[in-house]
Amino acid sequence: MGEVDPIIRQPALMIYGERDVIPQAENLADFVPNVEVISLDCGHWIQEEMPEETNLAILGWLARQNAI
């Protein structure tokens, strides 16, 4: 198997819950340089805790990528 580039170069979206017990990755942009980070006022289960806000964040990001 050949060398694997550890850098994700595609556009990416990371949605964090501000009250999640798992901390945000401080070096995320080092490995995913085209990442957009959105934080919501919730815990770990963002889809359950804030479904409308999560969907709006995803749809907004997809629109900015000209994907919808």
Q: Is residue 7, in this structure, part of any structural domain at all?
A: no
pLDDT at 1: 61
Q: Is residue 59, in this structure, part of any structural domain at all?
A: yes
Residues 25, 2 contacting (CB under 8 angstroms): no
Residue numbers of the domain that contains 51:
12-64
pLDDT at 61: 98
Q: Is residue 56, in this structure, part of any structural domain at all?
A: yes
pLDDT at 2: 76
Q: Is residue 1, in this structure, part of any structural domain at all?
A: no
Quote the CA–CA distance of 4 and 23 in Å, as a whole number: 27
From first to last of the 68 residues of the chain, give the pLDDT tens digit: 678 999 999 999 999 999 999 999 999 999 999 999 999 999 999 999 999 999 999 999 999 999 98
Query: pTM of the predicted model, to two decimals?
Result: 0.87
Residues 14, 28 contacting (CB under 8 angstroms): yes
